[in-house]
């Protein structure tokens, strides 16, 4: 898996991704402490609103920005987005009103919604061989999982010697290093679409391809399955560990680590498995594990089963989510052409995050109003529906084929 790091272009881009992820992790901790400073006991509501704003930016801003920057140099787009994120991170310690958090978070996440799909669409061009690309996807999955473990530890170590406002400086440094790594890398050229069409045509192009391709419709359904398990883990792990099992903050971290461990196990073995196993089979097995795992979470919440069983279940949820998420970009790579690649990766970024706008409220609000058993049951039902939909919409005999961009009608509104 590490063999792809011998390629200097990919190695630089992967380093940029890891450093930016660490900066984002520090930002998460610092933002929570800033919210508490400004809002006290209402800090949870402030963070909840900030997360909602983040999802709005990811779902609605990403397709628009992808259309606007599609003909710009890829390096300039990535570096520009990193510089915007660095500037916002540096300005956060100086704000003194809650509404200012919301504005700056929206701008920062809009920059992230520009950077991430453009970055993801670049990797299959850098690594055209499918085996190499699969290894890169596994490395990316590992990077995300390790960030969730390392960033809180790094933040805790820094907070022992500096104030939390200095974490924003660390965030800024992460984005600046990321920009420098991209700037120092020679990126392959990506031909611009010969017939880009109007802004509306380009904004909706990726979604329209998703809706007409059976394979990508199946991926959309599996995105919902991933969102159900992820929402339960991210929103309610603290409730399970602290309330149901009367544990400590350390127990919360341990539970999240077990979830991350399950994901990392799959990231390690995915390249080898996919050499002999179809993506559809592999991903649908993950889609089958998650409804069962969520049903198990409902049973645990109802019966207060053993802590060991709970941790084992979180490993299963990590395995299931990674079985879907890790190879998902392989489907985009196969379907995409040079003229549609950026739009497809942006659509996946936007549509997958749209699922969280449903599952986060279910995990949080249903859990608070009707209990954790009810929340897990509802999420299990949604996951089962998503898996069945994927099974139906993604026929096993459907051949993958590149999808050309639909020709935009010539009109006065078309961009020249």
Give the pTM. Answer: 0.80
Q: Provide mean pLDDT across the span 293-311.
A: 92
- Is residue 120 included in any domain, yes or no? yes
Across 123-127, 131-135, 232-236, 282-286, which has the greatest mean pLDDT? 282-286
pLDDT digits 0-9 by tens, 350-370: 888 899 888 888 888 888 788
Complete DSSP assignment for 280-316: HHHHHHHHHHHHHHHHHHHHHHHHT--HHHHHHHHHH
- Is residue 179 included in any domain, yes or no? yes
Residues 149 and 212 in one domain: no
- Is residue 55 included in any domain, yes or no? yes
Residue 99 has pLDDT above 70, yes or no: yes
Q: How confident is the model at residue 413 (pLDDT cuts 50, 70, 90)?
A: very low
Residue 406 has pLDDT above 60, yes or no: no
- Is residue 213 included in any domain, yes or no? yes
CATH number of the domain at 154, please.
1.20.1250.20
Position 2 scores a pLDDT of 66
- Is residue 412 included in any domain, yes or no? no
CA distances from 313 to 37, 213, 244, 266 (A): 36, 34, 15, 15
Higher-confidence position of 148 and 306: 306
Residue 188 CB neighbour total at 10 angstroms:
10
Residue 329 has pLDDT above 60, yes or no: yes
Q: Which of 191, 217, 235 is the last residue of a domain?
A: 191
Position 318 scores a pLDDT of 93
Residues 135 and 225 in one domain: no
Side-chain half-sphere of 123: how many Cα atoms within 13 Å? 30
Residues 298 and 177 in one domain: no
Residues 51 and 98 in one domain: yes
Q: How confident is the model at residue 197 (pLDDT cuts 50, 70, 90)?
A: low
Position 250 scores a pLDDT of 74
3-state secondary structure 69-94: HCCCCHHHHHHHHHHHHHHHHHHHHH
Residues 145 and 253 in one domain: no
Residue ranges making up the domain that contains 143: 1-191
Position 31 scores a pLDDT of 80
Q: How confident is the model at residue 403 (pLDDT cuts 50, 70, 90)?
A: very low
- Is residue 138 included in any domain, yes or no? yes
Q: Which of 135, 157, 191 is the last residue of a domain?
A: 191
Residues 272 and 155 in one domain: no
Identify the three-state secondary structure at position 186. Answer: coil
Residues 207 and 287 in one domain: yes
Q: Provide mean pLDDT across the span 225-246.
A: 87
Buried b (16+ CB within 10 A) or exposed e, 59-95: bbbbbbbbbebbeeebbebbbbbbebbbbbbbebbee
- Is residue 408 included in any domain, yes or no? no
Residues 240 and 181 in one domain: no
Q: Rg of the Cα trace of the chain?
A: 21
Position 409 scores a pLDDT of 42
Residues 298 and 323 in one domain: yes
According to DSSP, residue 363 is labeled I
Residues 257 and 224 in one domain: yes
Residue 166 has pLDDT above 90, yes or no: no
pLDDT digits 0-9 by tens, 379-396: 999 999 999 999 999 987
Q: Which of 32-46, 242-256, 271-285, 362-376 has the lowest mean pLDDT?
A: 32-46
Position 192 scores a pLDDT of 57
Please count the structural domains in the chain: 2
Nearest to 301 by CA among 226, 366, 256, 253: 366
- Is residue 401 included in any domain, yes or no? no
Residues 202 and 55 in one domain: no
Position 319 scores a pLDDT of 95
Residues 241 and 322 in one domain: yes
Position 221 scores a pLDDT of 95
């Amino acid at each position: 898996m590490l063999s792809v790091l011998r390629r200097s272009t990919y190695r630089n881009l992967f380093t940029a991704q890891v450093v930016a992820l660490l900066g984002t992790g520090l930002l998460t901790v610092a933002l929570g402490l800033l919210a508490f400073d400004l809002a006290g006991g209402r800090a949870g509501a402030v963070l909840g609103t900030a997360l909602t704003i983040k999802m709005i930016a990811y779902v609605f801003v990403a397709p628009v920005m992808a259309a606007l920057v599609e003909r710009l140099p890829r390096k300039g787009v990535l570096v520009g987005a990193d510089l915007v994120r660095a500037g916002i991170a540096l300005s956060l310690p100086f704000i003194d009103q809650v509404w200012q958090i919301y504005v700056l978070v929206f701008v920062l996440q809009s920059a992230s919604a520009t950077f991430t799909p453009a970055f993801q669409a670049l990797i299959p061009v850098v690594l055209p061989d499918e085996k190499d690309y699969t290894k890169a996807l596994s490395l990316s999955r590992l990077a995300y999982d390790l960030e969730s473990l390392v960033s809180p530890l790094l933040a805790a170590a820094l907070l022992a010697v500096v104030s939390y406002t200095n974490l924003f400086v660390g965030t800024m440094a992460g984005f600046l290093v990321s920009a420098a790594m991209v700037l120092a890398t020679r990126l392959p050229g990506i031909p611009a679409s010969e017939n880009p069409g109007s802004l509306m045509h380009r904004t909706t192009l990726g979604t329209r391809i998703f809706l007409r391709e059976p394979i990508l419709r199946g991926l959309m359904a599996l995105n919902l399955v991933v969102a159900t398990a992820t929402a339960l883990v991210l929103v309610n792990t603290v409730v399970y560990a602290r309330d149901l099992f009367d544990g400590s903050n350390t127990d919360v971290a341990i539970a999240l680590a077990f979830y991350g461990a399950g994901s990392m196990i799959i990231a390690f073995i995915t390249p080898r498995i996919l050499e002999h196993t179809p993506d559809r089979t592999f991903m649908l097995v993950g889609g089958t594990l998650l409804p069962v795992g969520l049903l198990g979470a409902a049973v645990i919440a109802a019966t207060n089963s053993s802590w060991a069983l709970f941790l084992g279940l979180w490993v299963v949820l990590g395995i299931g989510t990674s079985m879907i998420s890790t190879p998902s970009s392989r489907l985009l790579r196969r379907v995409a052409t040079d003229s549609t690649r950026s739009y497809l990766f942006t659509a996946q970024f936007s549509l997958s995050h749209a699922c969280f706008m449903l599952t986060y409220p279910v995990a949080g609000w249903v859990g608070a109003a009707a209990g954790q058993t009810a929340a897990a049951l509802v999420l299990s039902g949604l996951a089962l529906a998503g898996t069945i939909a994927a099974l139906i919409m993604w026929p096993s005999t459907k051949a993958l084929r590149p999808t050309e961009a639909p020709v935009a009608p010539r009109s006065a509104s078309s961009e020249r």
